Amino acid sequence: MDPVGKDAKEVANATADFHRIGDLVAGVPTVHASKAALEAMPEWKDQTYFPANIARKVKFMLGGTNYQTNIAAKFKEMKVDGGVMVVGAHVAHPGAGPAETLQTVDGQPKIARPSIAAVVASANDQHVHFPGSMRLQRTFDVKMKEKSGSTSPKKNEMKGDLEILSEPQKLIYTTRVRIDELKEMMIERVEAWSKRTGKKSLKSILFFRDGLTREMGDVMNQVVDQECKAIKDAFKSLNLPSPAITYVVFTKKLKILTHLESSPLGLVPFEYTRPVASTDDKIISRKNYVYTVLKDEMKLGKANMEVLVSL
């Protein structure tokens, strides 16, 4: 793809069309790269990062394995008995847009641009393949702002009585952060795990959730409770025993998450710095992530969590 002379929106639309035609219409795994990067490849000589990265993407799309971990052995060392599924979940919201993207009708509002909720989960005991499920969901919760009377009464000249001036009603939009159809998506993931492994039941769910922060306050706690219930309801629908859930919120380094007084139930968040190779395969950058354990029914503890996220 040649982005020269095109704005960001044109490039994004062209990229989307490219993947739609390849992945959905033709059924062929697609990977795109810039024209400049492809033209420069002969000059890179000993640089292998770029072509290797493309090869990894294609191999993964074709169902191959790019990496291996010893996470299964670590679970055994931690005495985590039975099947364990590692799950990742996130909700992607649309960017800010004009007011007309919100279509309000009688009853629940209809949002022109929805959010995308996605769940990926390990499908075998080696935890290297993470097929996923996806749903569209509304972006906002909407409610009417309560009317408040004015402190200065106004005399009605026609009737001689007093009127209380009130503010015009307004709609309040708050971003919907919970995953609405988590139960249905978890049913799909558990069925995929059972089909791949030949086993019927899982005992534990290690659930990593992006998109939540402590500054959400009670909203975050409500989301955690709702989503844990949805996971357990999924197992109930499949006539399986309720799993032990360890629910972990992870974000890029965020100061508010490092305050000990912000940690519920005495569970102190910890930071893990992961080295990330740059595009020249020589410079190593580092990204800080903060993991906060909000429920730990698997009883992993901080020390074990530090081991697991470093694999």
List, for residues 189-215, the tens digit of each pLDDT value: 999 999 998 988 899 999 999 988 767
Tell me the DSSP string of 88-138: EEEEEPPPP--GGGEE--SSS-EESS-EEEEEEE--STT-----EEEEEE-
Q: What is the DSSP letter of 265?
A: G
B/e letters for 162-177, b = 16+ CB within 10 Å, e = fewer, are eeeeeeeeeeeeeebb
- What distance lies between CA 297 and its chain's CA centroid? 21
> Does position 130 have pLDDT exceeding 60, yes or no?
yes
Higher pLDDT: 148 or 296? It is 296
Higher pLDDT: 259 or 175? It is 175
Pair of tokens at residue 169: 């009603």
> Does position 256 have pLDDT exceeding 90, yes or no?
no
> Does position 90 have pLDDT exceeding 70, yes or no?
yes
Number of domains forming the structure of the chain: 3
My answer on whether 53 and 124 are in the same domain is no
Q: The pTM is what? A: 0.73
Look up the domain containing 119 and give its range.
68-138+177-311
The last residue of a domain, from among 128, 154, 175: 175
The last residue of a domain, from among 175, 190, 223: 175
Q: What is the pLDDT confidence band of residue 63, given thresholds at 50, 70 and 90?
A: confident
> Does position 230 have pLDDT exceeding 90, yes or no?
yes
My answer on whether 182 and 262 are in the same domain is yes
pLDDT, mean of residues 247-265? 56
pLDDT value at position 113? 74
My answer on whether 99 and 188 are in the same domain is yes
pLDDT, mean of residues 229-239? 97
pLDDT tens digit sequence for 102-115:
444 555 555 567 89
My answer on whether 267 and 186 are in the same domain is yes
The last residue of a domain, from among 10, 40, 66: 66
- Tell me the torsion sign for CA atoms 297, 298, 300, 306: negative
My answer on whether 17 and 128 are in the same domain is no
Q: What is the pLDDT confidence band of residue 282, given thresholds at 50, 70 and 90?
A: very low
Helix and strand counts by DSSP (H, E) for the chain: 7, 13
pLDDT value at position 37? 81
53-62, 63-72, 193-202, 268-277: least confidently modelled range: 268-277
pLDDT tens digit sequence for 3-15:
888 888 888 888 8
